Amino acid sequence: MISFLLSLVVIPHGITDILLSYETNSYHIMSYFYGFIPLLCIFMNHFIYKLIFISSSIIHFRHELSPVVPYYIIVNYFVGDVDYNESLYYMIVYLSAIHVPHHYHNIFMSTNYIYEHITIILLFTGVSYKVSPLLIDWVNIHNGQDKLSKFLGAIIMSHIYFNEYHYLIHT
């Protein structure tokens, strides 16, 4: 179920950054985030990488409808109440049920091309359905400590920082 939710719900919502950059004429800024952050992260010490990833997630979730939920999941993981797999499960369910729908709502409320964007999201979801399970398996096999795993995580951080940039500039 985790791989299914990641492939069909969580991962495809990142495509909205391209749509958002088009709508706000900030494609060049998005390109900087998506170009620089992954190149920096693949050479990072694993502990520092994890620390930056968690910090970035905390920053990202502050804009949620209820940031208490993801913060609660993160804190419970760090104090040892739940293990990694259990906290990952809870976080993916949270992302699928609350974060992604809220994100799509925000994007669709600010766009002039709703049907075109829905079509692009559906196409990307199809691609994600085929490719993401392989990448998820790769990260699990290597425990997220190899360069490809860090690169994939850095794409998530690029999404976070681009959305933070957009939030700060346009609010």
DSSP letters, 11-77, are GGGGGHHHHHHHHHT-HHHHHHHHHHHHHHHTTS-HHHHHHHHHHHHHHHHTTSS-THHHHHHHHHH
Render each residue's pLDDT in the chain as its tens digit; 171 residues.
788 899 999 999 999 999 889 888 999 999 999 999 999 999 999 899 989 999 999 999 988 888 899 999 988 888 888 888 898 899 999 999 999 999 999 888 888 888 888 999 999 999 999 999 999 889 888 888 899 999 999 999 999 999 999 888 876
Residues in the chain: 171
- How many other CB atoms are found less than 10 A from the CB of residue 87? 17
pLDDT computed for residue 121 by the predictor: 92
Q: Can you give the residue ranges of every domain in the chain?
A: 2-169
- How many other CB atoms are found less than 10 A from the CB of residue 84? 9
CB 19 within 8 A of CB 106: no
pLDDT computed for residue 107 by the predictor: 85
SS3 category, 139: helix
Cα gap 81→124, rounded to integer Å? 36
